[in-house]
Copies of this chain bind each other. A is one copy, B any other.
């Protein structure tokens, strides 16, 4: 079985954007057929669709929905609608980089083609949105193919948070090697850290692995040390929100702790990183800002207050893991081993000649 599709476009210009409403997981698998840009804005805002690549695709599809009913003979109105839709969609989650990257890509497409009719531009926008799905699948599948040989038959691997199919169009980054190993007939079992405060590991990673039939065991974050000490884990794989040129990387809070434990207990620690997540202008992870989120995620994360009123709460959403804890970085263009600075630079230098 292949992973569930998180988001796809069904049909032609009069079609729908179909996405899994992730707010209902793990209780219910319900697809949302989005037919207008307001519904897409709401879906992004309310985290019905989440994860950087998936948000980008959702925004691109939102752009198509926003302009498909524009009059074919009113070019000015169409161009204004494109601009309005981009600004509107960007406002759904202002801090999501992939959101503005995707809407800019659609705006740029329109600007680059003054020769095309409004109707032709609508179709080109739809093609572009679909191309983004294909590109995402190609990148994730390449990471999967490259990472798969690292997994041995009978292994248990541990992952943190959700860098899975639900964060991308379908395959995920950290989960892609696992799906490929499973598809290749290897027996692979996964420990999923529940990932406080928002429980993406328990709610999302466990769910999507279960859908495909990969055996998965959920643990609370503080049990990772025990399963490693007991020799139950043969590899760790995580995603990244942003990696620096030296291999330091930001990821969901708790990743640093898992990395330290993996080193201590001799477990290989891999980062699945599309080259689009690697920022070669950043010399090290020290420059990556850590977003602090509202304390209620910790104190009222489950609809019931679990911290006394008046007690302070610290809630950093990410941490930065220094590259010394990383065994290897799995990109769609190759696996990079230490020294990472040299390896990553070589990867980017040969980019033009190594396009997939």
Binds B, one of A126-134, A171-179, A224-232, A268-276: A224-232
Residues in B with CB closer than 8 Å to A195 are 222
- Answer whether residue A96 sits at the interface, using C-beta atoms and an 8 A cutoff: no
Q: Would A312 and B226 be within 8 Å (CB), given that A26-B305, A257-B257, A260-B260 are in contact? A: no
Query: A307–B223 Cα gap in the complex (Å)?
Result: 16
Number of interface residues of A (CB under 8 A): 58
- Chain B nearest CB from A34 CB (Å) reads 24
Q: Please state if A210 and B256 are interface contacts (CB–CB under 8 Å).
A: no
- Answer whether residue A352 sits at the interface, using C-beta atoms and an 8 A cutoff: no
Residues in B with CB closer than 8 Å to A290 are 226
Q: Please state if B298 and A194 are interface contacts (CB–CB under 8 Å).
A: yes
Q: Among the interface residues A206, A298, A308, which one has the most CB atoms of the partner chain B within 10 A?
A: A308
Query: A193–B197 Cα gap in the complex (Å)?
Result: 12
- Answer whether residue A218 sits at the interface, using C-beta atoms and an 8 A cutoff: yes
Q: Among the interface residues A210, A215, A226, A253, which one has the most CB atoms of the partner chain B within 10 A?
A: A226
Residues in B with CB closer than 8 Å to A309 are 26
Q: Please state if A203 and B306 are interface contacts (CB–CB under 8 Å).
A: yes
Q: List which A29-82 residues lie within 8 A (CB) of chain B.
A: none
Q: Please state if B218 and A311 are interface contacts (CB–CB under 8 Å).
A: yes
Digitize A193-204: 1 where CB-to-B-CB distance is under 8 Å, 0 elsewhere.
Answer: 111110100110
Binds B, one of A83-91, A135-143, A237-245, A313-321: A313-321
Contact of A222 among B221, B305, B312 (CB under 8 A): B221
Q: Please state if A203 and B253 are interface contacts (CB–CB under 8 Å).
A: no
- Answer whether residue A154 sits at the interface, using C-beta atoms and an 8 A cutoff: no
Q: Please state if B253 and A261 are interface contacts (CB–CB under 8 Å).
A: no
Contact of A303 among B220, B222, B302 (CB under 8 A): B302
Q: Please state if A307 and B202 are interface contacts (CB–CB under 8 Å).
A: yes
27 A–B contact pairs at CB < 8 A? A25-B308, A26-B305, A26-B306, A26-B309, A194-B307, A197-B220, A202-B299, A202-B307, A206-B308, A206-B311, A210-B311, A216-B312, A217-B312, A218-B299, A219-B314, A220-B253, A220-B298, A220-B315, A221-B254, A224-B257, A225-B254, A226-B256, A226-B290, A257-B257, A260-B261, A260-B264, A303-B304
A-to-B contact residues, CB < 8 Å: 25-27, 160, 191, 193-197, 199, 202-203, 206-207, 210, 215-227, 229, 253-254, 256-257, 260-261, 263-264, 290, 298-299, 301-316, 319
